[in-house]
Each structure stands twice: as structure tokens, then as C-alpha cells.
């Protein structure tokens, strides 16, 4: 978020009571990560929690990435991943594949749609035989909507 937008937003002041150890940990994190203030760090944490809450609610349109590491030598795996991306063409925006080693490929798949559907798509990919690691990362910000393909 740009500084201009922040300065134009109406701000509210709150007061909190937290254990001293927690405050010391917060101050250390603020310094190490380079936040300008405790308030900025707390806003960042609240945004993260709100985003996770929205992602768990299920129906809000969100953007995310499905990150996979898979053994590219697993018979039929690349075809299954491709078929899933085509099956959910309205939600799958783009993908990038990078060969990591002689046996493993990293696949990053950009997705947009209702959070519950993105979780379902990611689970279908992550649970395929040959996938070594898989994770869906959801963001609350959405990219400009891409119109779904016509039915038929």
C-alpha cells in the first residue's frame, strides 16, 4: 500500500495490554524486519490474519499460488497436472515450471477464484503420486478479473 493511500485513510487509535516478553519480541521483530513502527508491524500481522480468515471462509474471490515440487519422472504426473489445469481453466491463470534437479521440478500455478474452490484444486494437485511438496498460498488481493471462457 502506498504512503499516499495510507495518509488518506482514516486512522483509529487503539490501546492494548500485552505481556512484556511479547512486547520485547515485537520490538525485536520491528527492528529486524525494518518496520517504521510497532503500529505498522501490528497492521501487517492483522492483515495476515484477516487474509487467512477470508481464505478459510470459502466463498470470497481470492488470488493465490499453488506451489508444487514433484518428481518429473513419475509416469503420467505431468499429464495429470496439465489436465487439472485445463479442467479448472477459469481458475488457473498461469503456470511456471522450473527444473530444480535431475529429478525434481518446481511448479508455480497462479490461481483466482472462490477460496474453497482454490483449496479443492490445490488438494487435487498436492495429493497426486509423485508430488514431493505442495502448498496453496492465498492472498486477499485479486488480480484484474479474467472473464471465464464461454460455456459449451
pTM across the whole model: 0.69
- Give me the DSSP letters along 60-126: SEEEEEEEEEEETTSTTHHHHHHHHHHHTTTTEEEEEEEE-SSSEEEEEEEEEEEHHHHHHHHHHHH
> Looking at the predicted structure, is the pLDDT value of residue 44 above 80?
yes
Q: What is the pLDDT of residues 129-152, one digit of tens each?
A: 999 999 999 887 677 766 565 666
Amino acid at each position: 500500500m502506498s504512503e499516499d493511500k495510507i495518509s488518506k485513510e482514516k486512522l483509529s487509535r487503539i490501546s492494548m495490554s500485552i505481556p512484556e516478553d511479547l512486547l520485547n519480541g515485537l520490538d525485536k521483530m520491528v527492528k529486524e524486519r525494518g518496520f517504521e513502527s510497532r503500529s505498522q508491524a501490528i497492521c501487517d500481522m492483522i492483515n495476515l490474519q484477516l487474509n487467512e480468515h477470508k481464505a478459510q471462509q470459502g466463498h470470497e474471490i481470492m488470488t493465490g499460488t499453488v506451489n508444487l515440487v514433484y518428481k518429473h519422472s513419475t509416469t503420467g504426473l505431468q499429464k495429470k497436472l496439465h489436465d487439472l489445469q485445463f479442467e479448472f481453466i477459469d481458475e488457473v491463470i498461469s503456470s511456471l515450471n522450473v527444473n530444480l534437479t535431475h529429478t525434481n521440478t518446481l511448479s508455480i500455478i497462479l490461481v483466482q477464484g472462490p477460496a474453497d474452490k482454490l483449496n479443492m484444486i490445490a488438494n487435487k494437485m498436492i495429493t497426486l503420486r509423485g508430488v514431493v511438496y505442495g502448498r496453496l498460498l492465498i492472498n486477499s488481493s485479486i488480480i484484474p478479473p479474467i472473464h471465464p471462457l464461454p460455456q459449451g
